[in-house]
Structure 1
Amino acid sequence: PWSARAHDELLEGLLGPRPAGGGRPARLAELAGRVQRALGGRPVNPDSPSQVLRAFAEQGVRLNSTRAWELREADHPAARLLLEYKELSRIHAAHGWAWREQWVRGGRFRPEYVVGGVVSGRWATRGGGALQIPRVLRGAVVADPGHLLVVADAEQLEPRVLAAVSEDAGLVRAAAAGDLYAALAPAFGGDRARAKVAVLGAVYGQTTGEAGRLLPVLRHRFPAAMALVEEAARAGETGGLVRSRLGRTCPPPSADVPGDGEEAGRAARSRGRFARNFVVQASAAEWALAMLAALRRRLAGTGPDGPRVVFFQHDEVMVHTPEELAGTVLEAVAEAGDEARRLVFGATPVRFPLSARAVRCYADTG
């Protein structure tokens, strides 16, 4: 359910009134002018990277690109203004008034899902950007009168999947607790944030920075988990195939990758990072899809006006339900998550908690 009135209010609060003739909204026009003045007053189109880079260079600021991380590090007042412009421009282009006219009909956002559209088995969408609804626009997702939205998402899914797949004793013990990162914190001097950086770095193949410095701790404390992802990375680098928990196989190496030289080395390392991540992400997708199927089965038979799954992305699911059945749906979500755990990972003590809330508006989930 998508409220055009709420969407208008949000867009006008961010961008100003809808412009006539496809021009820039007032807020974007204002920011474009401020960027130009901050860069010396010469005409600069903030949507043109080449013009922006040239204007910064004339101000003595050398940038390689207009990516957000470079702008955040730039010591110039125009950089902050350009960051704000780019963020609002992205909302205007991706989820603005024109987007709504194309994708929202009859009070419903109607994305085109592509089941298994990603190599890991996760779903994708063909247009509409359903998997990237900006947090600032979630206020437009409002339940119908007499209804609620039950929104549930899996907590710390990837590290829990790594624990279940690797059967690493230390990681399994941590994943049997409520907050996995807090349970791991003692291995990192009691610092929960460092524990999170370390574990996600292991999953995503981050070997530099803080994540790289914490790798020795991971190898010492969680040898089976690290052996699994590092073995997958070696297989990927050498052109081998890796598989998910239920046997989904990663794509073979590209035939046009050079066989030797520096470029070949970079390609091999990149595929190693992909393979390391694949064994976790594809297994996580299997849990999520099993959870979705278990939930839909539990909601079946409630009639045309009963609870319905209306949104699904990665590890999050949304059910639009009559208000009086919200409690039933919350129970069904918890049962579906546990059923998926048993189906995909067997008798593991690893928990896969689903944080679920019944709300009137998607933004109320925090």
Structure 2
Amino acid sequence: MDQGARSGVRPRWVWSDTAAWLPQLLAAGVRVMRCHDLRLSHAILQRSILVPDRRALAAAIQWEAESVVPAIATAPTLFDAETVSGGSRSVPHDLDPALEEFERQQTALAAAKDPGKLRFLLAAESAGALAAAEMEAAGVPWDAAEHDRLLEEELGPRPARGEKPSRMLAVAEEVRAALGDPRASLDSAPKLLRALRAAGIDVKSTSRWELAEHEHPAIAPLLHYKKLSRLHTANGWAWIDEWVREGRYRPVYVPGGVVTGRWASSGGGALQLPRQLRPALRADPGWTLVTADVAQLEPRVLAAMSGDRAMAAAGAAKDLYAGVVDSGAVQSRDEAKIAVLGAMYGATTGDSGRLVPRLRRSYPAAMALVDHAAALGEQGGVVSTRLGRSSPEPDNAWRELQARASMPGATSRDEDQARRAAREFGRFTRNFVVQGTAAEWALSWIAELRLQLAKFEPAGVPAPASGPVFERAPHLVFFLHDEIIVHTPQECATEVAAAVEAAAVTAGRRLFGSAPVDFPLDLKIAERSVKD
């Protein structure tokens, strides 16, 4: 049960690293509703430009280590630091250094320019860490037999260990025949590149995007081979053997694993789960899946951040890209998508370069926000998200390029390299403010939904003898940037779906107040998770 639930008080636990402590508590039947993760909070505060004096945080370099997931403790006390086998890169788990770091963080927050925003960000980041550990403990309900069937449908029968599936081998022969090279290696990029050029296909890389631009009998089967190879390598039979146990797939999430605040994954590939395998996500008998994802999250975040009422109106209760078309800025939905993504990612050539100027006329406030962020980056500056997560500064190599270009006697090559590096960093900061704030919205959504799901009474099934305390009630099992999946008893699926939608509304209000921006969800209740 949740510690403190009997008295009606739910404390906020302060600890070194959620990934190190929470699995032990979940295994013991204890649920923690709130925490302050010192490692994740340190990473935010020691970089945030909202904190005017970060010297004390910067000096505490031991708190900049990566998260290391420990083995399950066997010592008699849950909070014995010696039971946490964090390894050489782990943060300190002893009480005294944790208290010292907590005091440093509280001092930094007290002096911050907008402490309310930062406190909310730290709370959301810590709640995300709780959710990540819980999702790993709960696991995604996974139909390994269906996964096997889908693989056979695409690749052919399961091959012997170390061998390639029959369909891959057959498609490879098609490619070699079209290239006129029976020995062409398709799995080595340098060798494949040589074979393509020898066949008259003038390419600089073997990326599918560049290959698709060429017309040659070898291109279609080669793209097919690459698709089959990715499936076999990333999510094939070896993946099932390693990651699926007792009907559960347990990816290892890394909250804050990307500098923008987006999550990463250190195992299982949850953030690259291919659409074709979605039917393998199957609810347990008597349960169902509530799946929800946000339509055009980043453009909507841009509209809300910038206060661009025209862009907000384009997405009001409808597809935002269709709204951009209706506004007259572009002619088609495809053009709208290219233009908006180009604006956020700094594309200056091709269709994006042609269409982005139209957005500047139609949505001046939104464009001004990302243009300003890009300009700061080009000058080596730092930008921040809505809640105060700040971008890293450019590295020494970048600064050396800029310094060399500004010195007397600098060559045109020096100047070109410096300009390219400046533009590249400007593209990074341009996207950082939007992607980072979108990550904050998603964290807020998860944090609120997690609290709402905790209010549901356990289903009428026996409690597990051990393991996650939340297994009898609706719980999060999957997260991917702008999508969540809840595993829920069928009898409360409709209420859970309503909670998912309400949490999205709350997340928007907490980040953007009364900004007139909708965050509509594509929401489904089904036994299997299948994306359109």
Instruction: Please give the range of the TM-score, normalised by the shorter of the 2 chains.
Output: over 0.9
CA contact (8 A) 1:177 1:183 kept: no
How many pairs does the alignment contain? 365
CA contact (8 A) 1:166 1:224 kept: yes
Matched, 1:45 2:185: yes
Q: Name 1:286's counterpart in structure 2.
A: 440
Q: Name 1:343's counterpart in structure 2.
A: 510
| 1:264-275 matches, cutoff 5 A | 264-275=418-429
| 1:176-195 matches, cutoff 5 A | 176-185=316-325, 186-188=327-329, 190-195=331-336
CA contact (8 A) 1:71 1:80 kept: no
Q: Name 2:430's counterpart in structure 1.
A: 276
**Which residue of 334, 338, 355 maps to 1:197?**
338
**Which residue of 19, 27, 32 maps to 2:159?**
19
Question: 5+ residue gaps in structure 1?
Answer: none
Q: What CA distance in whole angstroms lies between the structure 2 residues aligned with 1:27 and 1:225?
A: 48
Deviations, residues 230-263 of structure 1 (Å, cap 9, x unaligned): 0000000101010100111001111122223222
CA contact (8 A) 2:329 2:362 kept: no
| 1:120-131 matches, cutoff 5 A | 120-131=260-271
Tell me how far 1:139 sits from its aligned partner. 1.4
Q: What CA distance in whole angstroms lies between the structure 2 residues aligned with 1:81 and 1:192?
A: 30
Q: What CA distance in whole angstroms lies between the structure 2 residues aligned with 1:159 and 1:320?
A: 29
Tell me how far 1:206 sits from its aligned partner. 1.2
CA contact (8 A) 1:11 1:96 kept: yes
Q: What CA distance in whole angstroms lies between the structure 1 residues aligned with 2:166 and 2:315?
A: 49
Tell me how far 1:300 sits from its aligned partner. 0.3
SS in 2 for 1:20: coil
Question: 5+ residue gaps in structure 2?
Answer: 1-140, 406-413, 459-469
Q: Name 1:165's counterpart in structure 2.
A: 305
**Which residue of 81, 100, 105 maps to 2:221?**
81
Deviations, residues 313-348 of structure 1 (Å, cap 9, x unaligned): 101000001111110111001100010011111111
Q: What CA distance in whole angstroms lies between the structure 2 residues aligned with 1:217 and 1:108?
A: 48
Matched, 1:137 2:277: yes
SS in 2 for 1:73: coil
Q: Name 1:60's counterpart in structure 2.
A: 200
**Which residue of 360, 366, 369 maps to 1:225?**
366
Q: Name 1:320's counterpart in structure 2.
A: 487
Q: What CA distance in whole angstroms lies between the structure 1 residues aligned with 2:523 and 2:271?
A: 19
Give the alignment's TM-score, normalised by structure 1.
Answer: 0.96
Q: Name 2:477's counterpart in structure 1.
A: 310
Q: What CA distance in whole angstroms lies between the structure 2 residues aligned with 1:53 and 1:165?
A: 44
Identify which range, 21-30 or 318-327, moves more after superposition.
Answer: 21-30
Specify the structure having the higher radius of gyration (Cα): 2
| 1:251-266 matches, cutoff 5 A | 251-257=392-398, 258-259=401-402, 260=405, 261=414, 262-266=416-420
**Which residue of 191, 196, 209 maps to 1:69?**
209
Q: RMSD across aligned C-alpha pairs, in angstroms?
A: 1.4
Deviations, residues 74-99 of structure 1 (Å, cap 9, x unaligned): 22211211111111011000001111
Q: What CA distance in whole angstroms lies between the structure 2 residues aligned with 1:113 and 1:308?
A: 16
In structure 2, give the amino acid aligned to 1:249.
Answer: S
Q: What CA distance in whole angstroms lies between the structure 2 residues aligned with 1:183 and 1:131?
A: 29
Deviations, residues 250-307 of structure 1 (Å, cap 9, x unaligned): 0111112222322222111111001011111111111110000110100004334111
Q: What CA distance in whole angstroms lies between the structure 2 residues aligned with 1:37 and 1:241?
A: 53
| 1:86-101 matches, cutoff 5 A | 86-101=226-241
Q: Name 1:333's counterpart in structure 2.
A: 500
Q: What CA distance in whole angstroms lies between the structure 1 residues aligned with 2:361 and 2:213?
A: 35
Deviations, residues 75-125 of structure 1 (Å, cap 9, x unaligned): 221121111111101100000111111111111110111011111111111
Q: What CA distance in whole angstroms lies between the structure 1 residues aligned with 2:202 and 2:315?
A: 46
Identify which range, 49-58 or 14-23, moves more after superposition.
Answer: 49-58
CA contact (8 A) 2:173 2:182 kept: no
Q: Name 1:241's counterpart in structure 2.
A: 382
Q: What CA distance in whole angstroms lies between the structure 2 residues aligned with 1:152 and 1:78?
A: 39
Q: What CA distance in whole angstroms lies between the structure 1 residues aligned with 2:311 and 2:196?
A: 48
Tell me how far 1:221 sits from its aligned partner. 1.8
In structure 2, give the amino acid aligned to 1:42.
Answer: P
Identify which range, 275-284 or 99-108, moves more after superposition.
Answer: 99-108
Tell me how far 1:354 sits from its aligned partner. 1.5
In structure 2, give the amino acid aligned to 1:160.
Answer: R
Tell me how far 1:215 sits from its aligned partner. 2.6
Q: Name 2:34's counterpart in structure 1.
A: none
Tell me how far 1:68 sits from its aligned partner. 0.6
Q: What CA distance in whole angstroms lies between the structure 1 residues aligned with 2:213 and 2:351?
A: 19
* Percent of aligned pairs with the same amino acid: 53
Q: Name 2:348's counterpart in structure 1.
A: 207
Q: What CA distance in whole angstroms lies between the structure 2 residues aligned with 1:21 and 1:289?
A: 40
Tell me how far 1:41 sits from its aligned partner. 4.1
Relative distance call for 1:182 and 1:21 in structure 2 (3 A) is closer
SS in 1 for 2:161: helix
Give the alignment's TM-score, normalised by structure 2.
Answer: 0.67
Q: What CA distance in whole angstroms lies between the structure 1 residues aligned with 2:320 and 2:158?
A: 45
Q: What CA distance in whole angstroms lies between the structure 1 residues aligned with 2:189 and 2:366?
A: 43
SS in 1 for 2:381: coil
Relative distance call for 1:163 and 1:360 in structure 2 (3 A) is same
Q: What CA distance in whole angstroms lies between the structure 2 residues aligned with 1:56 and 1:268?
A: 34
Q: What CA distance in whole angstroms lies between the structure 1 residues aligned with 2:144 and 2:219?
A: 33
Q: What CA distance in whole angstroms lies between the structure 2 residues aligned with 1:172 and 1:18?
A: 50
Relative distance call for 1:217 and 1:41 in structure 2 (3 A) is closer
In structure 1, give the amino acid aligned to 2:347.
Answer: Q
